[in-house]
């Protein structure tokens, strides 16, 4: 069932909401099945690139319908977008949240951009996630990356107050894509940010971060975690493995079933890792 972004994030103690990028209904079905089985809420992410593609509006409509029909609490969010026109379009189409990414702008321009996105979102009773610092890497292409500009704790509190953002994505050594070196997260920086920011904190680039570090991040105040690369890897690996045996007879349904099962396995493992109470 469709659930407000803020409601999914509120009251989190020892758990984080999983946000999973969905490029098609197979990924959405896998995510929602896992959420239903574990009785936890999830966020279905649609990337800006997917949304502005030729049939992107149909994909968004499909994700919203899938979330609505599921018995799991779910929100659909437009991910990393720096275009206010696209943000407004997605809000009009029904997303429950947008990630207004002005992290590539100077601080003052980032503040103004997010503030304008928040004003748009409030018209639709939707939420806004913002980013301060710079999370390196590409959300669409899994290439090796090193960490980018880190979030300044001293700015973070002011930034959320000035913008009205409902959630803040932090850069503490995390990257999009594949980690060039073993991830080293700045725990003291996270602690300092958490002390200054009342809004929920989001960790992007969770693919490749060991579960023990993810749990430590949750204990340090992270309440939303984005996953993309590992889902794509599982989806494509299952396609490669299953396809040769399915070409005879053009068994497309069986291929989709294999893809869903592979992604579901990854999502289920992530949801278990995002609940530190299960590990205690």
CA distance 257 to 144: 30
Closest C-alpha to 206, from 186, 168, 177, 235: 177
Q: At what angle do helices 229-246 and 252-273 cross, to 10 degrees?
A: 150
Cβ-based neighbour number of residue 233 at 10 Å: 17
Residue of 79, 138, 158, 166 marked catalytic: 79
Which residues fall within 8 angstroms of residue 277, CB to CB, at 6 or more apart? 14, 15
Q: From start to end of the chain, where are the E strands?
A: 17-21, 42-46, 74-81, 97-100, 127-132, 144-145, 167-170, 178-179, 201-203, 222-227
Contact status, residue 96 vs residue 129, Cβ threshold 8 Å: no
Bridge partners of 63, per DSSP, are none
Active site residue 79: yes
Q: Nearest 5 degrees, angle CA 5-CA 8-CA 14?
A: 140
Chain centroid, CA 273 distance in Å: 15
Size (the chain), residues: 280
Which residues fall within 8 angstroms of residue 257, CB to CB, at 6 or more apart? none
CA distance 66 to 45: 13
CA distance 58 to 76: 14
CA distance 221 to 231: 24
Q: Active-site residue numbers?
A: 79
């Amino acid at each position: 069932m469709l659930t407000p972004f803020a409601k999914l994030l509120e009251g989190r103690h020892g758990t984080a909401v999983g946000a999973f990028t969905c490029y098609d209904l197979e990924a959405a079905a896998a995510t929602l099945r896992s959420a239903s089985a574990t009785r936890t809420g999830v966020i279905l992410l649609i990337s800006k690139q997917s949304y502005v593609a030729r049939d992107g509006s149909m994909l968004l409509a499909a994700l919203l319908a899938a979330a609505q029909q599921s018995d799991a609490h779910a929100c659909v969010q437009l991910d990393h977008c720096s275009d206010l026109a696209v943000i407004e379009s997605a809000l009009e189409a029904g997303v429950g949240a947008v990630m207004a990414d002005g992290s590539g702008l100077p601080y003052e321009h980032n503040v103004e951009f997010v503030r304008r996105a928040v004003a748009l979102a409030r018209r639709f009773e939707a939420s806004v996630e913002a980013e301060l610092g710079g999370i390196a890497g590409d959300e669409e292409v899994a290439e090796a990356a090193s960490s980018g500009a880190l979030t300044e704790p001293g700015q973070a509190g002011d930034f959320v107050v000035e913008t009205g953002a409902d959630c803040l994505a932090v850069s503490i050594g995390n990257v999009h894509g594949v980690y060039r070196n073993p991830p080293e997260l700045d725990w003291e920086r996270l602690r300092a940010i958490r002390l200054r920011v009342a809004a929920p904190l989001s960790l992007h680039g969770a693919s490749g971060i060991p579960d023990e570090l993810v749990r430590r991040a949750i204990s340090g105040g992270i309440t939303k975690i984005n996953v993309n690369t590992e889902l794509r890897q599982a989806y494509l690996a299952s396609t490669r493995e299953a396809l040769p045996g399915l070409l005879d007879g053009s068994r497309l349904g069986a291929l989709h079933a294999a893809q869903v099962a592979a992604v579901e396995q990854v999502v289920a493992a992530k949801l278990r890792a995002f609940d530190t109470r299960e590990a205690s």
